[in-house]
């Protein structure tokens, strides 16, 4: 039988996770009042929860002492996840290889629910997009190519077309900059929900160019997983 103490601990754990998830999805730090309102938690309980998480390093508070955000422990946990993930370990060299060979932005993403979460990113120019960034799956080539693989019962339409050509092509906006992206699903045995996407600025390319980029992704994955030499001849 569940005791009152166990129930209280489970409720506290739920609140802690809800708070961390909310802050993970917030672009800015939040005040205790905002957090208490959004999570429907009494302000007194929110205060104690915030102080505990700050003391343990999961949250940080700004210099004013009034706004809270994720702390270094959250970063350590995320880093540990990436280090332990087999698909990330095997496919990160593929991202690096494509970034160098194609002079393009390359990302490894994972479909989680209805979102694509960025696991690894190498930007053509500027700093890399941090892991954990998420976008609606249906708005991205990364999401579409994984969804197409999952929707195997769909005989016609967009999913069937993506499966037939072996990649998804989409017009996307990254940090306010329009780009097109070609994405190929990772080998199912390695990352059943993962895909690698290569992005370029400009208008959507001719199908022949999209085919060539998709071929470069496949070649890079094959080379990495079989230990063969690097790809060549696909610079765009």
Q: pLDDT tens-digit profile of 84-139?
A: 999 999 999 999 999 999 999 999 999 998 899 999 999 876 555 567 787 888 88
* Gap between the Cα atoms of 139 and 55, Å rounded: 39
pLDDT band at 1 (very low <50, low <70, confident <90, very high): very low
Q: What is the pTM of this model?
A: 0.78
Q: How many helices (H) and strands (E) does the chain have?
A: 8, 8
pLDDT of amino acid 151: 80
Note whether 113 and 124 are within 8 A (CB): no
pLDDT band at 189 (very low <50, low <70, confident <90, very high): very high
Q: Tens of pLDDT along 210-235?
A: 999 999 999 999 999 988 655 444 44
Report how far apart, in Å, the C-alpha atoms of 31 and of each of 28, 46, 60, 65, 125 are.
10, 10, 12, 9, 34
Mean pLDDT of 153-181: 82
Q: Which residues contact 151 (CB under 8 A, 6 or more apart)?
A: 159
pLDDT of amino acid 155: 55
Q: How many CB atoms lie within 10 A of CB 109?
A: 30
């Amino acid at each position: 039988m569940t005791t009152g103490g166990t129930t209280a601990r489970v409720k506290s754990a739920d609140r802690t996770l809800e708070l961390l998830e909310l802050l993970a999805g917030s672009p800015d730090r939040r005040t205790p009042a905002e957090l208490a309102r959004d999570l429907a938690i009494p302000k007194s309980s929110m205060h104690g929860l915030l102080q505990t998480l700050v003391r343990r390093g999961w949250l940080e508070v700004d210099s004013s002492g009034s706004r809270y955000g994720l702390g270094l422990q959250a970063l350590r946990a995320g880093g540990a996840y990436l280090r332990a993930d087999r698909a990330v370990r095997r496919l990160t060299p593929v991202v690096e290889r494509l970034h160098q060979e194609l002079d393009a932005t390359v990302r490894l993403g994972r479909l989680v629910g209805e979102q694509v979460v960025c696991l690894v990113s190498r930007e053509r120019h500027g700093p890399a997009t941090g892991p954990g960034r998420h976008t609606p799956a249906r708005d991205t080539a990364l999401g579409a190519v994984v969804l197409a693989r999952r929707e195997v019962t769909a005989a016609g339409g967009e999913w069937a077309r993506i499966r037939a050509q072996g990649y998804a092509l989409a017009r996307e906006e990254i940090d306010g900059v329009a780009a097109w992206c070609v994405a190929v699903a990772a080998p199912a045995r390695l990352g059943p929900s993962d895909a690698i996407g290569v992005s370029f600025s400009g208008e959507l390319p001719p199908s022949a160019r999209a085919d060539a980029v998709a071929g470069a992704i496949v070649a890079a994955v094959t080379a990495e997983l079989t230990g063969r030499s690097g790809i060549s001849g696909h610079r765009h």
